[in-house]
Each structure stands twice: as C-alpha cells, then as structure tokens.
Chains A and B, each alone.
Chain A
C-alpha cells in the first residue's frame, strides 16, 4: 500500500474538501457578522488579546484548586478593583491633564506651527525662494492626524460603551470555553491536517502569548521610566505640563515596535518645546521664565534613557525568544489600524499582526513538513 492510497468511497462529511469548505464558510460568516455590527469586531479583537494576557493568571488560580469559572471571576474582579482604584486615585490628575491637553493642543500646535512658518519664511527670504506650500500643508495634515491619535478620538463614546459591555462578556466566554472552541475547530479538520493544526496552535499560543505579555511589561516599564524622568527634570527645571498623560502616551506607543517610540516622542517634544522655549518669549502667556533649550534636551535624554533601558535590558529578558513582528508588517498594520480605530487601532494592531505573522509562518512551515 502506498501512502497516497486513500479510500474513494468515504462519506461526504469525512471528505477533506467538504470539511475545509464548511470551515471556510463559517470563517466568512463570522467575519461578516463581526463587520456588520459596529464595535463587535474591535471588542472581539480586544477580548482575544486580553485572553493571551490573562490566561496565566487564570491558570495560576486554577492550580490552587479553584474551578476555572471561579478563577476567571476572581481575575476579572481583581482587574475591576485595579481599574476602580486607579480611577479613584489617579483619574482626577490624568483626566484633568487629558482635558487640559485636549484644550491646549491646538494652541501648542499653532505656536509651533507659527514658529516653523516664521523659520521657513526667513529661509525663503534669505535664499529668495517662492512660497513653498507643500511643507505647511503636510504639517497641517500631520497635525490633524496626530491630534486624532493623541486624543483617542478614533474611538467614539458609543464604541467605548460597547466595549465596556461586550469585552468582559467575551473575555469570560473565551477564557472559560476557549479550549472547547479550539477542540471543536481542530477536531473538525481532516485527518491529513489534524496533527499539523495542533502543532501550529501550540506554537502560536506560545509565541503570541509571550509576545503580547512581553509588550505589556515593556510598555509599563518604559512609561514608568519616562514618568520618573519627567519628575526629575521637573525638579531641576520647571515641572513639565501634562507629565502623567504624556508618560502614558510614551508607554502606550512603545507597544508599537520601531515606529512607536518615535510617535510617542512627538507630543512630549511639542509640549516641551512650547512650554520651555516658545511660551517664555511671550510674557502675557507665561510667568517670567527664561526661554531655554536645556529642559527640552533633558526630556529628550529621558526618552533616550527609557529606550536604552527597553532595548538593552527589557527586550532581551522579557521578549527573549518570542519572535518580533517584521517592520513592514508593523508599518502596514499600524496604518490600517489607525484608519479603522485611531490610536486604539494602532495599538491593538501590533498583537494582531503578531498573531497573523506567526499563523502565516507556521502554516507555511507545517505544509512544508507535510509529507503526504
């Protein structure tokens, strides 16, 4: 008997082509439903990312002899307590800073914009050039996009309410029955692809799980480094405005590899340059303080220090062997994520990109290693 010999008269439901077609139809239907109901797709994706982050915590409580459903409830309850206490103790500061920042962002950008226009006009006068409109237009475009990114305006109030309602439910369901869903899906695959799918699932869970958890740790540590640095700079010079909110932005954007640290630097530099260099030139806006670049350089130093800590100490330890996402995939997914969901889309696009990248590589490897 040759390995390619297969019985021809197998019932329809056992035929690989039939099974694969049913799975494809189900996948298309699922995507259709997710796209059809607004907010459902993003809730679904956020819940999947949270499953990777919270699974070890649920497993931890389950190891102590608690049933899985109770373990999930304990973890969700602890997160609720964390969110409520954060909201109680820091929301005034952070939300106050956010509101101020949102109010002042236009003013800050226009100050910087005017300064840049003035410098361009000087250069034009110096070299006798015609008015070059593309530069300011590009600047305006970047400003409007960045404003949308930094102020979280990509997600509407309705979407956020939908997340609050849908994400915990989905999360509970995925944490409790994720195993059964996986078992049903893999169990339905034809015998030929069955073992390959199990191997791929195991690798994806491991690689993506460690990647997402590592990114979370990285973002928290970098955010804290930035916050500590801003306070030190504030002690030496004048305290940086919106330090809490800016440190959160630095930490959040750090989730995006390669581009994130650069994007996170923009609002910090904007505030620092306007606050320490431009505003002191107008006594009507600011208390008497000398215009100085020194605090700006110190803030840049803080951000560079946070990146050094991240790249030299954190990444080798926490990211370790988990595969990083390819720069091209990062760029594409960030653009796509931003277009769909603004800043939330940019940030959740990275763990999703890691899932897609690992899936593609592992399926390609799995098919290569199939010998029949």
Chain B
C-alpha cells in the first residue's frame, strides 16, 4: 500500500452522512467551529466546479488560489506534473479536502491534482478568506485558527515521521558499523 503524504493525505477524515453543501462544509476542519449562520454565509461564497474524468484541477508549480472539498467523485494527488498512478501520493474521496495551504499565500502548488472520474468540487479561495477577514473578523479569526490547527497537526505528523526515519537511519547506521566491525575481526 502506498504511503499517504502528511501534506496531501486527509489526516482528519470523518464519516460522511449528509451530502448538502453546508453539511459537507461543517465536516471540514477549516469550517468545523463555525455556527450554522456562518456556514450559510460560507455556502454563498464558495464556488462549485465540475471536472470531467482525467481533467487536471491544478498542477505542481502553479500559484495556488485556495482549497477544494470533494462533493462527489475522486481526485488523485500526484508528485510532479504527471497525474498518473505511478506518481500518486494520495487518492481522495467525497468529503476529503486538499490545497488548504493556498489559503495562506500564493506559494506554488506542491503537487498536481486531477479528477479520475466526473467530479464536483467545492472551492474556497484566499481572496474570499481575505474578504471575510475584512468584513467579519470574528468569523475570519475562527477560520484562520482552524487552518492553524490543521497546519500544526500536519507539522506534528511530519515531525513524527521525520523522527521515525531518523530512528530507522540510526538503527541502519549501527547495523552497518556492527557489520564492518565484525568484518574487521574476521
């Protein structure tokens, strides 16, 4: 089984039941702390985008504009410009979200996303977040706090993985040293 990327895999996945936009949004950690009235406002702001099978959503290296939530369909996240199975780092399903780092700045996308079947996405973009912060700072702060929590969670997972890799490397190094010592004795 492929190893899911800490950045692109949905580390906060929950079971989806209700499929309305507001319900989908309420299950996304970015909007989880918003009240029903606030969610209704967000519902009016988000964009609904339809993608055909094999259609690219964005490509690694392009400036990012915001995040997407999958309403229906499936999205493949790949490293590099090719959206094939070989480069896949995550396969996302309805209720999953991706690209939330682009809500912070327009740093180039760190992966490519493509729909692998007819897919409907809910898009929430940085310009809308800035507008919310200007017009309704309380709601803006809640969303930013949620984004921060996601980033912290991803950072902790990455940290843990780095620590695991370091442990593995240390063990491998010790093993190599032991082998070379045994070789010298022989």
Contacts and interface: CB of A to CB of B under 8 A. Distances in A.
A147 interface: no
A126 interface: no
Contacts of B51: 191
A183 B49 CA distance: 12
A194 B64 CA distance: 11
A1 B130 contact: no
Interface in B67-88: 81-84
B175 to A, nearest CB: 41
Nearest to B60: A371
Interface string A175-202: 0000100010011000100111011011
A202 B126 contact: yes
B164 to A, nearest CB: 32
Interface in B131-160: 131, 134-137
A312 to B, nearest CB: 31
A268 B83 CA distance: 67
Contact of A1 (B49, B114, B136, B137): B114
A287 interface: no
Contacts of B54: 1, 5-7
Interface residues of A, number: 30
How many chain B residues sit at the interface, stated as a range, is: 35 or more
B135 A372 contact: no
Interface in A197-216: 198-199, 201-202, 205
A369 B63 contact: yes
Interface majority SS (helix, strand, loop, mixed), chain B: mixed
B110 interface: no
Contacts of B57: 191
A214 to B, nearest CB: 18
A10 interface: yes
B135 A59 contact: yes
A333 B116 CA distance: 49
B106 A199 contact: yes
Interface string B117-128: 000000001110
A195 B58 CA distance: 8
A125 to B, nearest CB: 69
Interface of B: 45, 47, 49-66, 81-84, 106, 112, 114, 116, 125-127, 130-131, 134-137
Interface of A: 1-3, 5-7, 10, 14, 56, 59, 62-63, 68, 179, 183, 186-187, 191, 194-196, 198-199, 201-202, 205, 369-372
Q: Give the 3 A-B CB pairs with smallest separation, nearest first.
A: A202-B127, A195-B65, A7-B52
Given A199-B106, A369-B63, 12 more contacts: A1-B83, A3-B59, A59-B134, A191-B57, A198-B126, A201-B127, A205-B127, A369-B62, A370-B62, A371-B59, A371-B60, A371-B62
